[in-house]
């Protein structure tokens, strides 16, 4: 077996094993603790009862959402960082989350909570359209301008959200705040299934561009010489990563640092080849967000913290550590 392939398989196996450990740990802890032996027994032999309801109706859907939201944000981060060749670009840099946040904020103010995910997705799509057309000229997608416009759209959306929050009452303000800080407490199974399906499709599609992003790391001119249609690929990757971000943000809120920190950490572990980078980032993002969410809902149990608070604190600490580490890719 190829030495590189063997190394990749070892890393994927290790990450998958860590994900399974994290899942069982998350299933067992909470306001009502369930022993690991009982968790395993209920999984292989479901029985009606309180513990079974807690596992399959409350914790398992939340765990699935954490894995696929975290994995999707990490994959989107890998795409954006590879496309821009900039390690500081993340899924929220281009205004997608700002557009989604503005859409959800308006529904909360108008009392239309039941369409909040739809409004969030529409807001994200509107932000994508604005950024895309402002950055496109004569069929060319100007990457440097794209980044600048995305930051401006994000800032504009955040300003409007702040204005709305200043005019909101206490109840509305509480709802907006918790959405902005991120939450995986979603009871609609249909929405969870939709996130799982779209995230899986997006992760599979992104893997087919592993070779392309490897070429992009050498520069657009070199990628062009390798036979890659650079402009068409940039447009597709931008739309793919933005739509994936919009999809998960409209459900979970603006959970920060996952799409920025996880790609850096995975790059240190497995290398920058996107053939291994994509699957490892997906698994790493799922593990990171799942553990952060488990911590958020248990640290002051029975109350829970917004998961974005935990990802922000841990992500900031990890990012600073990576920033100070030679060869992390941040100092280049």
User: In the beta sheet, which residues pair with residue 141?
Assistant: 136
Q: What is the structure's pLDDT at 332?
A: 43
More confident residue, 229 or 138: 229
Domain boundaries, the chain: 3-323
User: 163 preceded by cis ω (within 30°)?
Assistant: no
Tell me the pLDDT tens digit for each residue of 24-52. 999 999 888 888 888 988 888 888 888 88
Assigned fold of 3-323: ABC transporter involved in vitamin B12 uptake, BtuC (1.10.3470)
DSSP structural state of residue 30: S
Q: What three-state secondary structure class fits 2?
A: coil
Tell me the pLDDT tens digit for each residue of 106-155. 998 888 878 888 899 999 999 999 998 888 876 677 777 888 898 899 99
Q: What is the structure's pLDDT at 28?
A: 93
Beta strands in 192-311, from DSSP E residues, in sequence order: none
- pLDDT over 90 percentage in the chain: 41
DSSP structural state of residue 208: T
Residue 101, C-beta contacts closer than 8 angstroms, at least 6 positions apart: 120, 123, 157, 158, 161, 179, 180, 249, 253, 254
Q: Which of 24, 74, 64, 32 is nearest to 50 (CA)?
A: 32
Q: What is the structure's pLDDT at 13?
A: 96
Tell me the pLDDT tens digit for each residue of 166-203. 888 888 888 888 788 888 887 788 889 999 999 999 99
């Amino acid at each position: 077996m190829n030495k590189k392939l063997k190394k990749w398989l070892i890393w994927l196996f290790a990450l998958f094993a860590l994900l399974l450990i994290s899942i069982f740990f998350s299933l067992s802890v909470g306001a009502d603790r369930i022993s690991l032996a009982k968790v395993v027994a209920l999984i292989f032999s479901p029985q009606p009862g309180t513990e079974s309801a807690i596992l399959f109706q409350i914790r398992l859907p939340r765990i699935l959402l954490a894995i696929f939201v975290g994995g999707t944000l990490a994959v989107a981060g890998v795409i954006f960082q590879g496309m821009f060749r900039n390690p500081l670009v993340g899924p929220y840099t281009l205004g997608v989350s700002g557009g989604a946040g503005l859409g959800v904020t308006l529904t909360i103010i108008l009392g239309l909570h039941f369409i909040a995910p739809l409004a969030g997705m529409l807001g994200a799509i509107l932000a994508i359209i604005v950024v895309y057309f402002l950055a496109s000229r004569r069929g060319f997608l100007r990457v440097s301008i794209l980044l600048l416009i995305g930051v401006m759209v994000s800032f504009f959306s955040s300003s409007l959200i702040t204005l709305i929050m200043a005019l909101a009452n206490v109840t509305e303000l509480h709802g907006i705040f918790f959405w902005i800080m991120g939450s995986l407490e979603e009871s609609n199974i249909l929405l969870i299934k939709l996130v799982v399906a779209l995230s899986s499709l997006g992760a599979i599609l992104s893997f087919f561009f592993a070779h392309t992003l490897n070429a992009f790391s050498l520069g657009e001119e070199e990628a062009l010489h390798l036979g890659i249609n650079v402009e068409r690929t940039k447009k597709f990757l931008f739309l793919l990563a933005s739509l994936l971000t919009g999809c998960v943000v409209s459900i979970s809120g603006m959970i920060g640092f996952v799409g920025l920190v996880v790609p850096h950490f995975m790059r240190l572990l497995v290398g920058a080849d996107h053939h291994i980078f994509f699957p490892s980032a997906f698994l790493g993002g799922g593990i990171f967000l799942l553990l952060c969410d488990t911590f958020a809902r248990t640290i002051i149990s029975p109350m829970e913290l917004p998961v974005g608070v935990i990802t922000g604190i841990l992500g900031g600490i990890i990012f600073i550590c990576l920033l100070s580490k030679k060869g992390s890719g941040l100092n280049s």
